[in-house]
Chain A
């Protein structure tokens, strides 16, 4: 029997297959379904501080707008004694998830202020989350903001949260740093228990007919895994933090590749949205079959075996990789490139 178990953020997991943050985890019944389908842990959808603040301001705006203006209608809404305008719903969700499933529940947080990050992290910890993923989701557009400042923001958030909570903390980050390796090292030094590679941002699109900029949520494609594959491969063995591979992990082969370059866990969302939660079981079955066929004893055995450090071909992760990939392009694309 192949040993699929792994350790991520200090959590012993039955397999390296984790459900990543997505709307699927909004329903407790779906989380239970994930567990039943073999997910070894679940990352909950993100708590967005910006959303909480905006909801509060919206509620205030809409319950006060137009009031005290007209003698017959001094208000337009009843005024309940209490509102649930903070993170209560999310915290309750963590509690319910913990009561319902035995697999670790990893909360996800997106803050907008340092105070917000730490406050909500503390509450998430108190609500019983096994670990916390910091979903640092940030597109700098100011021309005056330097890359160093952006990097420092990430580090400040991590440091503050680490000082506040005792549960393990992972950082989910984007690949858009001048030197990803250096950034990873800084986060590692600052105490990150894990790095989740990579965050996918909404990408704007243009509606040609309506002349509008649209934001679509596009599900990941298997091609998306190349980027985390590279960087996990490069970072493996050079940082203490565990690494979670996310983006484009759809099938067992994808997961195996990620493990081979050094991921502790692989995370799936898009494919579960597309194929259903039971897809986890299929990936596990296929993974076991492949490992068995190829006579692996455990995933630990294979972890990092194809990394930058251990593959025997570090150049493949570096610039040479680009030249090679270009050379294997089909002809129709090559024309366009040259």
Chain B
């Protein structure tokens, strides 16, 4: 057998490695957690890496997974070896094509990182609900359980599909397998050549559509023959399992790894057997070994080929001694007779016994259960609980395991302390922040150990759902044997805390076993550290007899030029004290790895990291643990006690990382959650916060406008309010003439700020004695946290100004409006959230929001808390996320529904005018509702109406009472990113624009798929580097606004708050006021642009000044008045586009990766600007006619 290389990679890369080599066309679309398979393929294509046959595959990004499936179908029909990668909703979008591809007996493999489907909520994590939804399509379904298997099965599936002509869905567990880094043996290209029979490829080519031998495929058939046609494929399905097993046998000959379609492992005389598919099988496998070694007779049957389900082989693989079986499904089918694998197994057992297949003589007890939904942990303790259930006289059926179901009592109890971790495995947990590089360092450590020592290594990384200040937890195992442990470490012998702030929030030592090592990054020295630790930590350190080490990694990193990235420093500490490798060897390997990893980025980067390595050990100290607990410091409560009960009892537990312990009864039944909850999650991320200097301030309101997290607020109020103000509360006279005699305060929420600094950057007022200072300046947070929290609470208690008494068309006054979108989990300095916040200030108290899946749905709607909030009257935006692709339609549905209800309510009103009063009815029906005063009055009328209706007993009165609120004007906002608006949702968006309905569409245009990690969209500008455009995007940006304008009745505005904020405000007001579809395309700077986020507004300004992002408004109202509806609101470009582009890494990095291409694309980008400007200029200055009143302007 050939010598093969070992690698430590995740399954996505391991699978893509094989799929890329075995295909010619790859159609892709990003979706978590499968995106990186497509990214790898695209990157390899950009590097001109050939496939097995020496040609570079064509990787093409489509507008949706539906599009990808269509492209795959076409490529297959014309004879290319073709594949795609997807997950979850993406797979659902492929289903129609999957039926076709299977019906036409077309060989292909789709690789799926299996993921939950959105039901009561979206989840990006892993289970089998997506793949199970495709089980009727006629595809073979092959499950792999580990990184090694995923790599191997990518090849086996390809070989089997080519011979069988049945298309294969190859799937593995999203995140748990797709993103687990594990050491495995790589296949060689010779292995692939040996497995792929070229004759089958030739057959595939021969079946291809060709005008040289034309056929038609895809006919329509009638009742006479369709049925018979459908039955023609039976023999192919019968042959498929045989072929697949043969391929597995052949594979075993090559590699020594023997797989079975239905693979039994355990005692030959097992009485209790678990049947399972996916990574959970690994856990059952190891637990069976553990328990059998202790005298049990247990087994596991791993289902690898789920479709076609070979009942005979399946039943033949079960020991004849089997008395009870638990079938585990990682999916839920509400209302079914059982989950799919369970139902199939029961059916197979019934048929098998009737036919006398296998060794079973009698029907065993069979129960089914659900586990692991949305990557819920599935541990040996749970496996044991399932086996224990099978020992019961009447085992629980249709059970759940891993949760506490206190409602329908389906759950099995398990003992979380049960562990099967072997002693010879190093188990290490690292708590870090996303920004400190912890995960990267750990991935690097795994590679060092996995690829430079005989040891095996495994890494799995847990992230939270915040995009700023996110906590990462790395789980690393190292040991002499292959590691089959697809679950988190619950008993660690090494724990590292990379950020001191975690100490006051989480129990860091919970998982540390007695005698284990604890490493802490802290600014304190070995003599001072003890007194800074929380009481519970001191207790645990003493009780567990912990070996305790500290390092000031931030200092070492800073002095080495690494800034806040302490990754290398902490990595050195880990190797120095964990003893995984001899210290000198480890440091040598780290240095080699630094040179290998960073070498291509230049010597400066390498030297910086090497310096950090050299400086680390002298700062690493072991702390002698005192014998007595001295601390009085308690862990912080996750939310204040004053929070509402649901926030304390449910959301607070999730914040405290105890969500796994919440029972079913704690959860809302239909996915409905209260809004306004982010205010309770005090994250204290900022080491510095902005502090207002009222003497310098000109009260322009810009700082509040641009604040992405709504932590800067303005209030104008009566002076008497200050009587009870805290001592340090700041207030000055309001400068605006309309507010004469009132007081003015800008207040910062100290515990919610993310320290992005954009407010300081935008502030136009400078201190006349020291121009470095402005009217708002960053100062250290800890010394003023308490005082400013008190000020914040007082500030929030001040009544909001009457909305009728402000001019909303000037930023200064408008910014006094209360934001109803606050403290989101968006990136620090996010360019999207200020637009959403502005919308909520202006219209939030009467807004319904349809939000496309993406960044905005995650920072807007990912548990535990939501930034969508409400005002002092309890009114606020009502928000929902349907899907990614359907958001425009979703919003239109809301509009149609509200219009219908308004119409019905009006009809009822007219009918009831006698009872409620004609004058009131008339006032309600004819109310203009054009401004805040109108709305206020209408609300008063509707309140009066409701009061009257309460007293009426008729059915119509009751109907109207239920609908009366809709008589106050509702505004529908359809919000999403460019991936939605330009690509996947464009068809729907176009339709909604054409509908003429009064909806407001806000496109937060970051020019890439930001949420999935920066993949190219059709909004991506020419010359930008993005994933799927690694070599620079060759085509220009789609002009969505121009396309929308062609309807003539759509309000369109292109805005950039950082360039002209008053213009943005005007566009929002006009869009909402326009009684028809409105489209606002908002430049949103983004972390995916490769900019310093504090300079995001500078980027916006440069984009406008260079002509890359012209500002305009197209207002159909003007055309009704005989005026040109198109107004170009920015001036002619005043600088070359190069100056803007090269402010951003997305453009600049092309000059480093492909300098010649960069030069060429830059030239074309400038031409784009010039051409676009000339055209817009023409549109703005052309003689205009609306068709009724002749030419104007001539």
* Inter-chain contact A85/B1014, CB cutoff 8 Å: no
* Inter-chain contact B1090/A63, CB cutoff 8 Å: yes
* Interface check A336, CB cutoff 8 A: no
* Inter-chain contact A73/B175, CB cutoff 8 Å: no
Additional 11 contacts, C-beta under 8 A, given A60-B605, A78-B1029, A82-B600: A52-B604, A56-B602, A71-B465, A72-B1013, A75-B1013, A77-B1146, A78-B42, A80-B47, A83-B600, A83-B601, A85-B602
* Inter-chain contact B1010/A73, CB cutoff 8 Å: yes
Query: Which of B307-315, B396-404, B650-658, B1148-1156 makes up part of the contact surface?
Result: B1148-1156
Q: Which residues of A contact B637 (CB under 8 A)?
A: none
Query: CA of A183 to CA of B1074 in the docked complex: distance in angstroms?
Result: 74
Nearest residue in A to B47 (C-beta to C-beta)? A81
Q: Which residues of A contact B437 (CB under 8 A)?
A: 64, 68
Query: CA of A78 to CA of B766 in the docked complex: distance in angstroms?
Result: 41
The list of the 10 closest CB pairs from A to B, nearest first, reads A69-B434, A56-B602, A73-B1013, A62-B1145, A68-B439, A62-B1090, A78-B1030, A76-B1014, A85-B602, A80-B1153
Which positions 582-617 of chain B face chain A at CB distance < 8 Å? 598, 600-605, 608
Query: CA of A86 to CA of B601 in the docked complex: distance in angstroms?
Result: 9
Which positions 1072-1106 of chain B face chain A at CB distance < 8 Å? 1087-1088, 1090-1091
* Interface check A151, CB cutoff 8 A: no
* Inter-chain contact A65/B598, CB cutoff 8 Å: no
* Inter-chain contact B124/A82, CB cutoff 8 Å: no
* Interface check A323, CB cutoff 8 A: no
Query: CA of A52 to CA of B603 in the docked complex: distance in angstroms?
Result: 10
* Interface check B120, CB cutoff 8 A: no
Q: Interface code B831-864, partner A: CB below 8 Å = 1, 0 otherwise?
A: 0000000000000000000000000001000000
Query: CA of A55 to CA of B1090 in the docked complex: distance in angstroms?
Result: 13
Q: Which residues of A contact B77 (CB under 8 A)?
A: none
* Interface check A338, CB cutoff 8 A: no
Which positions 40-95 of chain A face chain B at CB distance < 8 Å? 52-53, 55-86, 89
* Inter-chain contact A55/B1152, CB cutoff 8 Å: yes
Q: Interface code B1144-1187, partner A: CB below 8 Å = 1, 0 otherwise?
A: 01101101111100000000000000000000000000000000
* Interface check A211, CB cutoff 8 A: yes
* Inter-chain contact B43/A78, CB cutoff 8 Å: yes
Q: Which residues of A contact B434 (CB under 8 A)?
A: 66-70
- In whole Å, how far is A31's beta carbon from the nearest beta carbon of chain B? 16
* Inter-chain contact A66/B766, CB cutoff 8 Å: no
Max chain B C-beta neighbours (<10 A), residue from A55, A71, A75? A71
Q: Which residues of B contact A63 (CB under 8 A)?
A: 601, 1090, 1145, 1149
* Interface check B46, CB cutoff 8 A: yes
Nearest residue in A to B1009 (C-beta to C-beta)? A73
A-B contact pairs, 11 of them (CB 8 A): A58-B1145, A59-B1149, A65-B1090, A66-B827, A70-B434, A70-B466, A72-B1013, A77-B1088, A77-B1149, A80-B46, A211-B766
* Inter-chain contact B600/A73, CB cutoff 8 Å: no
Q: Which residues of B contact A84 (CB under 8 A)?
A: 1151-1153, 1155
* Interface check B675, CB cutoff 8 A: no
* Interface check B1011, CB cutoff 8 A: yes
* Inter-chain contact A79/B602, CB cutoff 8 Å: no
Query: CA of A112 to CA of B42 in the docked complex: distance in angstroms?
Result: 39
Which positions 456-473 of chain B face chain A at CB distance < 8 Å? 461, 463, 465-467, 470, 472
* Interface check B39, CB cutoff 8 A: yes
* Inter-chain contact B1090/A76, CB cutoff 8 Å: yes
* Interface check B789, CB cutoff 8 A: no
* Inter-chain contact B463/A69, CB cutoff 8 Å: yes
Q: Which residues of A contact B1087 (CB under 8 A)?
A: 65-66, 76
Max chain B C-beta neighbours (<10 A), residue from A59, A69, A85? A69
Answer whether A77 and B1025 are a contact pair too, CB < 8 Å, given A66-B1087, A70-B467: yes
* Interface check B1012, CB cutoff 8 A: yes
- In whole Å, how far is A45's beta carbon from the nearest beta carbon of chain B? 15
* Interface check B32, CB cutoff 8 A: yes
- In whole Å, how far is A117's beta carbon from the nearest beta carbon of chain B? 15
- In whole Å, how far is A111's beta carbon from the nearest beta carbon of chain B? 13
Max chain B C-beta neighbours (<10 A), residue from A53, A73, A81? A73
Query: CA of A77 to CA of B42 in the docked complex: distance in angstroms?
Result: 12
Query: CA of A82 to CA of B563 in the docked complex: distance in angstroms?
Result: 25
* Inter-chain contact A68/B472, CB cutoff 8 Å: yes
* Interface check B565, CB cutoff 8 A: yes
- In whole Å, how far is B239's beta carbon from the nearest beta carbon of chain A? 40
Q: Interface code B1114-1143, partner A: CB below 8 Å = 1, 0 otherwise?
A: 000000000000000000000000000000
* Inter-chain contact A83/B1152, CB cutoff 8 Å: yes
* Interface check B232, CB cutoff 8 A: no
Q: Of B35, B465, B604, B1155, which contacts A56 at CB under 8 A? A: B604
Query: CA of A139 to CA of B1155 in the docked complex: distance in angstroms?
Result: 32
* Inter-chain contact B1149/A57, CB cutoff 8 Å: no
Chain A contact residues: over half helix, strand or loop, or mixed? Answer: loop
* Interface check B435, CB cutoff 8 A: yes
Nearest residue in B to A73 (C-beta to C-beta)? B1013
Q: Which residues of B contact A66 (CB under 8 A)?
A: 434-435, 827, 1087
Q: Give A contacts to B, CB under 8 Å.
A: 52-53, 55-86, 89, 211-212
Nearest residue in A to B768 (C-beta to C-beta)? A211
Query: CA of A134 to CA of B601 in the docked complex: distance in angstroms?
Result: 26
* Interface check B477, CB cutoff 8 A: no
Q: Which residues of A contact B466 (CB under 8 A)?
A: 70
Q: Of A56, A59, A72, A89, which contacts B603 at CB under 8 A? A: A56
Q: Which residues of B contact A65 (CB under 8 A)?
A: 435, 1087, 1090
Answer whether A79 and B43 are a contact pair too, CB < 8 Å, given A56-B603, A62-B1090, A66-B1087: yes
Query: CA of A75 to CA of B1009 in the docked complex: distance in angstroms?
Result: 12
Which positions 430-470 of chain B face chain A at CB distance < 8 Å? 433-435, 437-440, 443, 461, 463, 465-467, 470
* Inter-chain contact A57/B42, CB cutoff 8 Å: no
* Inter-chain contact A70/B1027, CB cutoff 8 Å: no
Query: CA of A210 to CA of B1149 in the docked complex: distance in angstroms?
Result: 32
Q: Of A58, A73, A78, which contacts B46 at CB under 8 A? A: A78
* Inter-chain contact B1145/A73, CB cutoff 8 Å: no
* Inter-chain contact B1091/A72, CB cutoff 8 Å: no
Q: Of A70, A74, A77, A79, which contacts B1090 at CB under 8 A? A: A77
Answer whether A80 and B1145 are a contact pair too, CB < 8 Å, given A68-B440, A69-B434: no
Query: CA of A252 to CA of B1013 in the docked complex: distance in angstroms?
Result: 59
Q: Of A64, A76, A83, which contacts B1088 at CB under 8 A? A: A76
- In whole Å, how far is A217's beta carbon from the nearest beta carbon of chain B? 14
- In whole Å, how far is A200's beta carbon from the nearest beta carbon of chain B? 23
Query: CA of A86 to CA of B603 in the docked complex: distance in angstroms?
Result: 8
Answer whether A72 and B565 are a contact pair too, CB < 8 Å, given A62-B1145, A64-B437: no
* Inter-chain contact A62/B1091, CB cutoff 8 Å: yes
Q: Of A52, A59, A68, A74, which contacts B1145 at CB under 8 A? A: A59
* Interface check B627, CB cutoff 8 A: no
* Inter-chain contact B600/A78, CB cutoff 8 Å: no
Q: Which residues of A contact B642 (CB under 8 A)?
A: none
Query: CA of A79 to CA of B13 in the docked complex: distance in angstroms?
Result: 14
Q: Interface code B518-542, partner A: CB below 8 Å = 1, 0 otherwise?
A: 0000000000000000000000000
Q: Which residues of A contact B565 (CB under 8 A)?
A: 64
Answer whether A78 and B602 are a contact pair too, CB < 8 Å, given A62-B1149, A72-B124: no
* Interface check B771, CB cutoff 8 A: yes
Query: CA of A58 to CA of B1144 in the docked complex: distance in angstroms?
Result: 10
Which positions 23-79 of chain B face chain A at CB distance < 8 Å? 32-33, 35-36, 39, 42-43, 46-47
Max chain B C-beta neighbours (<10 A), residue from A59, A61, A79? A59
Nearest residue in B to A88 (C-beta to C-beta)? B1155
Q: Which residues of A contact B1011 (CB under 8 A)?
A: 72-73
Query: CA of A63 to CA of B1011 in the docked complex: distance in angstroms?
Result: 16
Query: CA of A155 to CA of B1035 in the docked complex: distance in angstroms?
Result: 52
Answer whether A78 and B440 are a contact pair too, CB < 8 Å, given A69-B434, A83-B1152, A85-B1152: no
Answer whether A53 and B472 are a contact pair too, CB < 8 Å, given A80-B1030, A211-B766: no
Q: Of B603, B1012, B1090, B1146, which contacts A73 at CB under 8 A? A: B1012
Query: CA of A64 to CA of B439 in the docked complex: distance in angstroms?
Result: 12
